Structure 1
Amino acid sequence: MTDVVFTVGNVLRGDDGAGPLLAQLLDEEPAPGWTVVDGADVPENHTHHIRALAPRRLLIVDAADMELAPGEVRLIDQDSVAEQFLVTTHAIPLNFLIDSLRETVPEVLFLGIQPQDTSFYAPVTTMVREAVEAVHDRLVRGEGFEVYQNAG
């Protein structure tokens, strides 16, 4: 059994590419005990693969407008995803996806990265790139995500 990092985002929309950037970093330097699944901008198309992996823990990573400084990272509870954080680049709301995955995955966590620029064809900004690299480093070193708590 493995834990899964499930990245979400659109590489054509600037900082919304934070999730896929993390997937790329994890492909290049894997984190022990974690498998990465890049959901891109259609994460619902990858839920069957996640269920087949049967993880005990799923970490969803995506850009989320939390009204914080660009590049800020927060562990967000599921109710906050549903109530506060609208990610409009995905076909279905992430809270529906999380509800669906919770049916078979014991622990589902959502890690949001505050974007600065999600316009089409913009590059990932420096602040968001550095935040993604920090998340990658934590995963590789086997560190927890408590440092990212207290969203909102």
Structure 2
Amino acid sequence: MTVLIAGIGNVFLGDDGFGPAVAQALVERGDLPDHVRVVDYGIRGLHLAYDLVDGVEALILVDALPGDAAPGTVTVLEVSTGDLPGGAGLDAHAMDPATVLATLHRLGGTLPRTYVVGCRPTNLDEDLGLSPAVAAAVPEAVAAVDVLLGKLTTGGT
């Protein structure tokens, strides 16, 4: 099974750099199987959309995730077509992850089995580097990715 792990986020907006930080940690660890590709997409959502059109069997998005949980809380979600907004256009300047995934059909692709490993941010202001709570969550997110890879490899749910 081909798996794409996509780090999403703007490293110039504090904790929005969570996805790229997790992608970097996974690459630096260097022990992923050949069928798993890790890419730091940053804010290049359209690039991600076209990579998905080329075909992968599973996608793990890693990104800062809004919510009511305490900052630094890691959450894993499974995403289906029904979770995506309708009527997505091709505006390269508004390609948040949900819009990227919703755009796939218009580009000729289909949504692969998709998970989000998200972390509740503390700070999304212009700032380089993660807050202490979000930086401390990076190893937990890496472990969550490992659990998902195990499920995908064994065919579990």
Q: Do the two structures share a fold, i.e. TM-score over 0.5? A: yes
Instruction: Give the aligned partner of residue 71 of structure 2.
Output: 70
Shift in CA distance, 122/37, structure 1 to aligned 2, threshold 3 Å: closer
CA distance in 1 between partners of 2:78 and 2:70 (Å): 19
Instruction: Give the aligned partner of residue 12 of structure 2.
Output: 12
By how many angstroms is 1:24 displaced? 1.0
1:95 aligns with 2:98: yes
- In structure 1, stretches of 5+ residues that fail to align are 83-89, 146-152
After alignment, is 64-73 or 133-142 more displaced?
133-142
- TM-score, normalised by the number of residues in structure 2: 0.73
| Contact preservation (8 Å) 1:42, 1:91 | no
- In structure 2, stretches of 5+ residues that fail to align are 86-92, 153-157
Aligned pairs, how many?
137
1:28-43 to 2 correspondences below 5 Å: 28-30=28-30, 31-32=32-33, 33-43=35-45
CA distance in 2 between partners of 1:66 and 1:6 (Å): 21
1:111 aligns with 2:117: yes
By how many angstroms is 1:5 displaced? 0.6
Deviation readout 1:105-139 (Å, 9 max, x if unpaired): 43112222100011112420122112122221343
SS in 2 for 1:76: strand
Deviation readout 1:6-41 (Å, 9 max, x if unpaired): 111011111100001011112211333421121101
Q: CA RMSD in A?
A: 2.6
Shift in CA distance, 75/55, structure 1 to aligned 2, threshold 3 Å: same
CA distance in 2 between partners of 1:140 and 1:110 (Å): 13
Shift in CA distance, 12/104, structure 1 to aligned 2, threshold 3 Å: same
Instruction: Give the aligned partner of residue 88 of structure 2.
Output: none
By how many angstroms is 1:80 displaced? 6.2
Q: Which has the larger radius of gyration?
A: 2
- TM-score, normalised by the number of residues in structure 1: 0.75
Match for 2:138 among 132, 144, 150? 132
Percent identity over paired residues:
27
CA distance in 1 between partners of 2:46 and 2:128 (Å): 25
CA distance in 2 between partners of 1:80 and 1:114 (Å): 19
Shift in CA distance, 48/55, structure 1 to aligned 2, threshold 3 Å: same
CA distance in 2 between partners of 1:14 and 1:100 (Å): 27
